[in-house]
Structure 1
Amino acid sequence: MIAEKFDSSIYLNPTPLELADDMKAKQQWEDVLLLTRFAEQHFAQEQPDYRIAMQKQAEESLDSLTFLAERFTLGALTGEPVDTASLLGSLSLDVLVIGDIRDLLVQGFREVNAGDGDIVIMALSATGLLLMIAPELSWAPGLLKGFYRGGKISRPLMLQIEKAAKIAVKTGDVVPLRRLLNDFSAVVKGLGAGPSLTVMKQVRSADELALLAGKATIAPAETYTITRLAGIGQVKAIKSEGKLVKTIKLGARQQKIIGKIFLALPMSLLILIFSLSTGAGLYLFAASFIRSRI
């Protein structure tokens, strides 16, 4: 945005604790934990009592067998994941291999008889069976199926997965698909299944998935928070856990001030300021901003 033209800092808007509060209302406790840990690391003086209370509530909920059992059962019965426990429940058949065989039979039958079998589900099911000999990855195809069915993957990334799936089904070459599964597996191992459900929508290519995987492995709290609040491109700033190349600032207050300034300026002055700015990207942003004011 305009502030980034003059300042290389990463602005987080809303703040991590504000987002954690939203996740708390949805009972997405893994997300709350990552956000509060990030806040503890980088903004220890920002509402410490409230942060500690939220973090404690998240830990207690994730330790509650009753809560986890209820969510797991919900996922197993409906097949629709809403958080980590229900996601694992929805994948219970796949973890037991029965689901992979079931999906291969169902989708294979549809493909042969009507030509409308889901190539991605077929490829992931076949890969799931093949990966029984590689236990460290055996859960990844089933988990990716859950994300795919739940609409948790962006359309651009979905197209790349479909391409890799077609190669796997038609030629038997599972290398491109396995590469995607490796990176997907690293993201889930780093962030947890629940937070991964949230951030995967922002991943738009295999390259971005690989970037996210690398950073999630070394700094999960930073990776999740920055992806959610500043965009996946900004995770390049992460060097190691707790260390970032750029300065992180809470952007809510600064961006509100900038917004108020823009709204107070006359339209003619806004046009002049934007026309004198350099860079095609800034000019296009200015044009869209001005159109929204008219």
Structure 2
Amino acid sequence: MALARIDPLPETHALVEEERYAEAADYLGFFIGYDYVGNDPAAQSLYQSIEEQRSDWLYQLDKLGEGLLHGSSDETIGQVASVTSDFFVVGDMRDLANQGLNLVQGEEVDEVLLALATLGLVATSAQVASTLGTGATGGAAAPAVAGTTVVKSSLIALKAARKLGKLPNWLKNSVMTAASQARQTGSMGQLRTMFSDINILAKTRGGLNILENTQNATDLRRAAHFADIFGNQSATLYRVGGNVAIDISQRASILGRETILLAATFGKSGLKALDSVGALKFTKFASRSSKMVYKGDLLVLIAKLLLSLPIWLLYGIIIFAAWLWTPRWLLSILRHRLRLRPKTSL
């Protein structure tokens, strides 16, 4: 009873006010597939208005320019423009030129972005060499082309993360080290081993928000596994459950992907409950809870209050309630039997 379904409308309205329409659509879209939100006229109206804004041609044009000029965007059209420009060297040359201009004007130079642009040029050279090798070997070098493409797309994702302020410090250090190694040996060192995981997050809408909160390569691997399972629902699931969602995703093969998504509609507490009682019991509870109608939130508040009590006090309340509600005739029999119990000698 302490669990309550998330109302996504307040958070969605807040995102709309900040003009984060793509994020608002993903967030509300996560919940609208469930009847308690999907059947709400207010939710339907809000979702429709967001989609109308996103489909407006002026909005789309603005996002296209955002991707071309800045190399980052939260909308698909801007992301495509950004990735396309970076794949064809234009993006790396643009970023190098911008940092050079900053240097000439006496402004701060972003060393990390400079390093990523340099690594991007190295990766492009390797990609061109691999492509030419594929033609010369009749396709035998195709795996090398695929490998360099993963490297390139991962570097593009890291650049986007840097521009959006979502590149974690531990990855900044890895990028700087890799740039130094690339200049000396042509190799990107340990950073290369992370590219497949970065690429998974890069292909996931909102994946950079998850990348931002990783602390090391192990966190990155777990986050990539999470994103691989939940795809474009990962960002909202992470917004709702944080690291609890990532932890429980490691058991998705046991608990079930859809059950985890269902539990997320009850918030972080729902995910914890699922992890505690298992998929079968939680699904039965969720089915019953959808049919419950309470007059106000009194029972929910009482249940949450009981959960917040120390365990010794909770046991005390249970014992007192049991004593209070036990029929008087049963207590009388118990006392009579205790008086008649024979004494044992030492």
Q: Give the TM-score range, shorter chain.
A: 0.5 to 0.7
Residues 1:199 and 2:210 aligned together: yes
Matching of residue 57 in structure 1 with residue 54 in structure 2: no
Larger radius of gyration: 2
Asked if 2 retains the 8 angstrom alpha-carbon contact of 1:20 and 1:32, the reply is: yes
**TM-score for the superposition, normalised by structure 1:** 0.63
Deviation (angstroms), 1:92? 5.6
Residues 82 and 26 (structure 1 numbering): CA distance in 2 closer, same or farther, change over 3 Å? farther
The match for 2:127 is 131
| Unpaired runs of at least 5, structure 2 | 104-109, 132-144, 270-296, 314-346
Q: Does 1:100 align with 2:92?
A: yes
Describe the superposition over 1:37-79 as per-residue Cα deviations: whole angstroms up to 9, x where unpaired. Answer: 32134x43147433333333343344333311122224434x2
Identity of aligned residues (%): 19
Match among 160, 172, 183 for residue 186 of structure 2: 172
Greater RCO, 1 or 2 (C-alpha within 8 Å, sep 6+): 1
Distance 2:67 2:93 in 1: 19
Superposed displacement of residue 221, structure 1: 4.7
Alignment partner of 1:83 is 2:81: no
C-alpha deviation, 1:142, in angstroms: 2.6
Report what 1:31 is aligned to.
23
Give 1:223's match in structure 2, choosing from 226, 231, 234. Answer: 234
The correspondence of residues 212-251 of structure 1 with structure 2, limited to 5 A, is 212-238=223-249, 239=252, 241-244=257-260, 247-248=263-264, 249-250=266-267
Contact 2:116–2:155 under 8 Å retained in 1: no
The verdict on how the C-alpha distance between 1:212 and 1:93 changes in structure 2, with shifts beyond 3 A counting, is same
- Check whether the contact 2:71–2:83 (CA below 8 A) recurs between aligned residues: no
Greater Cα offset, 19-28 or 83-92 = 83-92
TM-score, length basis structure 2 = 0.55
Q: CA RMSD in A?
A: 4.3
Aligned partners of 1:32 and 1:54 also within 8 Å: no
1:114-138 deviation per Cα after TM superposition (whole angstroms, max 9, x unaligned): xx96434322332244335436534
Report the count of equivalent residues: 247
Q: CA deviation at 1:102?
A: 5.5
**What runs of 5+ residues in structure 1 fail to find an aligned partner?**
1-6, 111-115, 277-294
